[in-house]
Every structure is written in structure tokens, then in C-alpha cells.
Amino acid sequence: MPRKPRRAHYHVYVVALDDPVWNSPRFRRANPEYQLGKPFVYVGMTGLDPDVRFDKHKAGIQANTFVRDFGLRLLPALYERYNPMGYDDARAMEVELGIRLRALGYGVWQA
């Protein structure tokens, strides 16, 4: 019996981070081209709905420290048009989106 194609249910997402994240030496080192005044963001991918994944970060469940401590809200305008997609596409888009946002001067963290 042929395998059923997997449903495209993966999502990339972007979380706005509060300004004090810039006080972290790790975050600063990861963003040498940061342009003053641009947003700080976390870019991730998930098999869950981005709202659910954000809530898990904030609750400390499989959380990225920067999202748990500095996450403010999701920024759907930066990612909604890409979702949903297959796993490999989501992995690639997570990296690509981070690169694009860094090129625009954003402070970006990716796990």
C-alpha cells in the first residue's frame, strides 16, 4: 500500500522580543549588524499552531530562553503568508526568514 503524503502542517513564526534582550552578550554577539531602532525578534518553526507554540515558550515548556524571558507577541505579518508547509520547507524558510530580517537590520535569534 503506498504511503499517504504527509499533511503540510509546519509553520514558521516570528516573536517580537522586548528591548532589554539587547543587554544579553550572547544576543549582541549574534547580531553584529543590528541597526539601532529596528525590532528584536525570535524566528522559529513548529508543527503546532504558532499561538500554541508561543504560549508554550512563555510557560517554559520546551522554551527558548529569550522568548520565555523577553517574548512580547507574535508578528504574523512577517510569517503568515508562508504557512502551512512541509517539514523540509519550514526548516529552510526558518533560516531564510532569519537571514532576510537580519539583512533589514533586525536583531534576530534562532535556536
* pLDDT tens digit sequence for 38-94: 999 999 999 999 999 999 999 999 999 999 999 999 999 999 999 999 999 999 999
The amino acid occupying position 106 is Y
Q: Is 5's pLDDT higher than 90?
A: no
pTM of the model: 0.93
- Give pLDDT, residue 42: 98
- Give pLDDT, residue 56: 98
Contact yes or no for 30/109 (Cβ under 8 A):
yes
DSSP 60-86: TSS--HHHHHHEEEE-GGGTGGG-SB-
79 contacts: CB under 8 Å, gap ≥ 6: 11, 12, 13, 14, 50, 97
Contact yes or no for 94/110 (Cβ under 8 A):
yes
- Give pLDDT, residue 8: 85
Cα 84 to its chain centre, rounded Å, is 15
